[in-house]
Amino acid sequence: MSALTKKRLLSITLLAGLFILIFAAVALAGDPSGANTGGVGDITAATAGQPTMDEIAAQVGKNKIGINFVWTLITGFMVFFMQAGFALVETGFTRAKHAAHTMAMNLMVFLVGAIGYYIVGFALQFGGVGALSAIGGTAPLNQEFAINGWGILGHAGFFLTSNGAYDVGVFTLFLFQMVFMDTAVTIPTGAMAERVKFSTVVITSFFIAMFLYPIFGNWVWGGGWLAQLGSKLGLGHGVVDFAGSGVVHSIGGSVALAGAIILGPRLGKYGKDGKVNAFPGHDIPMGILGTIILFFGWFGFNPGSTLAGTDLRISVVAVNTMLAGAVGGFVSMMIMWLKFKKPDPSMMCNGALAGLVAITAPSGFVNVNSSVFIGAVAGVLVVISVLFVDSKLKIDDPVGAISVHFVNGLWGVLATGIFADGTYGDGLNGVAGGVTGLLYGDSGQFVAQLIDMGVILVWGVGLSFIFFKILKATLGIRVKPEDELAGLDIPEMGVLAYPETTLRSSSLDRSF
């Protein structure tokens, strides 16, 4: 740079600085404190500035629903971001030679899930839910197929169109519920990683998104028969599951369990002498980052399940979620540290996620000290379960999806029936009063939750077991052994996750 250019640059900088000082000294006619922005003039009225009582009331109602829409949509976007968490956890805790395959499954399940849920899943789950007042009423969703008054499945809103579903409230509900469903779809990929065919996961994801998840979801959240156990048989409020320990996590975990059993373990996981071999994950920082993203997403998952930013219970739900996750991770860490001499990072992650899964169903209904207890039990359960599934049952679950989601999902459903303290849930499922668990005097609620657990076992594990059996016998679900040993990236995906660390063999690399 010549001396002249330097001199010019210097004078331009000085001149700019001088201008900024002059502007800063002049009082501008805006509203820097915000005191004068927003007021009576902003209320929609026939005579501007002089709204009638009715016009004010209309505006207040609009605001309430507006807050609830924004709350539900933004927490839904946070739940969508949990896809990134799942992708990182599952890829970090598996081996590098399959990384493109494992990571791509986690994107694909969303693509497939969104389509399947749009076509038929949403209509089956929520087609008969009725008018949800928190999001301004979802009037078109009024078609529930029932037998003797017991709801079985909904049938309004196919393609988000049928029965007049072109409705802002319906669309808000769809977005939130689609990303929830997607969480269930992405759980099995972790348990089946490193040996499952990519095409198998495509078919499985359609199956979960279109049938397995929505029908069970209808029974609990869509006004179906499990939700009616309270109003019809007097079992508490019927099955309650605030944000889906059962509906989302146990169902996703059921598919993970059935899938891992029928696929069989990864080659070399179990030695002929009975030794259980460790396959350490290839990128522990990636797995931990994924866990933190999932934790963040859970602040959308649980508090968002009010579907209402104007429901001030959201603060209690958020703190319950935070503490159960923290305690779950801490307890797992300490157990591993004492038992195996070091605080295994992958089990710290599993512990935190186990606490979060377990608090998902109770988070709206229990007090904070119960949440801490529920999280602590989850931290113990997940360690026992991981070791038991791995060494005793010899079911190969590379990332611990069965123990985190299936086992702790069931614990969350049960814990709701024990610890719900009766302060929240008035009118839920058509039953007056707060949801009350066994410890606070309602054994009926406890029985309803037990029934829920039984149905999860039969519908979730049973049906997915049959599904995978049929798929295995027809199209096959497992890759060829030589592909599994070499790594699935090239045989299944055609591209390596990390080509720079592999000798180049492509003709494209020749000329460089």
Partner 1 sequence: MRKIECIIRQNKLEDVKNALGEFGINGMTVTNVIGCGLQGGKTEFYRGNSYQINLLPKVKIEVVIPDAKLDQVLDIIVKNAKTGQIGDGKIFVTEVSSVVRIRTGESGEQAI
Footprint on this chain of partner 1 (rule: CB under 8 A): 276-281, 336, 339-342, 344, 346-347, 383, 386-387, 390-391, 400
**For partner 1, the closer CB: 95 or 237:** 95
- Cβ at position 336, least distance to partner 1 in Å: 8
Token couple for 398: 């590379």
**For partner 1, the closer CB: 94 or 320:** 94
Spatial separation of the C-alpha atoms in residues 439 and 417, rounded to whole Å = 9
- Cβ at position 409, least distance to partner 1 in Å: 20
DSSP 3-state helix, strand, coil percentages of the chain (rounded to 5)?
65, 5, 30
**For partner 1, the closer CB: 347 or 358:** 347
Spatial separation of the C-alpha atoms in residues 129 and 74, rounded to whole Å = 22
Q: If you ran DSSP here, which 8-state letter would residue 144 be given?
A: E
**For partner 1, the closer CB: 62 or 275:** 275
**For partner 1, the closer CB: 16 or 384:** 384
**For partner 1, the closer CB: 32 or 274:** 274
- Cβ at position 39, least distance to partner 1 in Å: 60
DSSP string, 462-491: IHHHHHHHHHHHHT--B--HHHHHH-SIII
Spatial separation of the C-alpha atoms in residues 415 and 370, rounded to whole Å = 9
- Cβ at position 278, least distance to partner 1 in Å: 4
**For partner 1, the closer CB: 77 or 337:** 337
- Cβ at position 276, least distance to partner 1 in Å: 5
Kindly give, in sequence order, each residue whose CB lies less than 8 Å from that of residue 138, ignoring residues fewer than 6 positions away: 126, 129, 130, 131, 132, 167, 169, 170, 173
Of 500, 502, 482, the closest CA to residue 492 belongs to 482
- Cβ at position 412, least distance to partner 1 in Å: 23
**For partner 1, the closer CB: 281 or 412:** 281
Q: Is 269 in a helix, a strand, or coil?
A: coil
Judge contact between 464 and 254, C-beta under 8 A. Answer: yes
Of 369, 376, 336, 337, the closest CA to residue 354 belongs to 376
Backbone φ and ψ of 142, nearest 5°: -125, 25
Within 13 Å of residue 468, how many CA atoms lie on the same side as its CB? 24
- Cβ at position 339, least distance to partner 1 in Å: 8
**For partner 1, the closer CB: 195 or 269:** 269
**For partner 1, the closer CB: 376 or 382:** 382
* CA dihedral for 123, 121, 131, 427, sign (positive or negative): positive
Spatial separation of the C-alpha atoms in residues 365 and 351, rounded to whole Å = 22
Kindly give, in sequence order, each residue whose CB lies less than 8 Å from that of residue 227, ignoring residues fewer than 6 positions away: 151, 219, 220, 221, 238, 239, 429
- Cβ at position 396, least distance to partner 1 in Å: 11
Spatial separation of the C-alpha atoms in residues 252 and 412, rounded to whole Å = 14
- Cβ at position 265, least distance to partner 1 in Å: 13
- Cβ at position 511, least distance to partner 1 in Å: 17
Spatial separation of the C-alpha atoms in residues 411 and 388, rounded to whole Å = 17
Within 13 Å of residue 268, how many CA atoms lie on the same side as its CB? 8
